[in-house]
Amino acid sequence: MLQFKFSDFDIECGTDEAGRGCLAGPVTAAAIVLPDGFEMKLLNDSKQLSEKIREKLKPLIEDIAVSFSVTHIEPKIIDEINILNASIKAMQACIVKLNPLPSYIIVDGNRFKPINDIPFSTIIKGDSKFMSIAAASVLAKTYRDDYMNTIHEEFPMYNWKKNKGYPTIEHREAIRKYGTTKYHRMSFRLLPEQLKLPFD
């Protein structure tokens, strides 16, 4: 059973990201403030939901939210600052776009960096414990999936529409056959035996 709030602060936002473990595409974060009395029976950690349910929940969450924001951090930045820092940067970018600005932040996972002196708590498996983090996880996942479906049209041979950039056997075989694209994360181990892959 998801809890509504973690803190006693008036405006609490939840934030989460999607795509940390992918070989291609952005890391995408969402942050959201939910209204008092919020209830949504189907809502859960996005990884526990089918794509169909996530797509059904997305507009419902957006309609009822007090405020929400989504941010993509591109592979070039991920390669420059590493995936952990890119994930945190994406979540921070979402939070500062919220209106009203939250007075407390709850973050899925165990790592975060302060933003605008707003107090925060990191919560392991927070997306299966708190509504706002679960809602943020659904938005982050659906927006990132939409992004991967779009760039799939540009490079269909990697089948990002299906694997969403994750390191499936099919995706790695396509990298082996066709090389890399501007959407691949060059700092990641793209092939199991790789020592170094040249930039395109």
Question: Residue 197: is its pLDDT beyond 60?
Answer: no
Least confident of 12-26, 37-51, 123-137: 37-51
Query: How large is the average pLDDT for residues 145-158?
Result: 98
Higher pLDDT, 178 or 198: 178
Domains of the chain are 12-178 (3.30.420.10)
Beta strands at 67-73 and 27-33: parallel, antiparallel or unpaired: antiparallel
Mean pLDDT, all residues of the chain: 94
Mean pLDDT for the stretch of residues 49-69: 95
Check residue 200 and give its pLDDT: 44
Query: How confident is the model at residue 193, as a pLDDT?
Result: 66
Concatenated DSSP letters of 23-57? SBS-EEEEEEEPPTT---TT---GGGS-HHHHHHH
Q: How, if at all, do strands 12-18 and 27-33 pair?
A: antiparallel
Pinpoint the alpha helices (H) of 34-193. 51-64, 75-81, 83-96, 131-154, 160-163, 169-178
Does residue 191 have a pLDDT over 60? yes
Q: Does residue 195 register a pLDDT over 70?
A: no
**The one-letter amino acid at 178:** Y
Range 20-30 burial, b when 16+ CB lie within 10 A, else e = eebbbbbbbbb
pLDDT greater than 90 at residue 11: yes
- Per-residue pLDDT of 60-97, as tens digits, reads 999 999 999 999 999 999 999 999 999 999 999 999 99
pTM for this model (two decimals): 0.92
What integer pLDDT is reported at residue 39 of this predicted model? 87
Q: How confident is the model at residue 48 (pLDDT cuts 50, 70, 90)?
A: confident
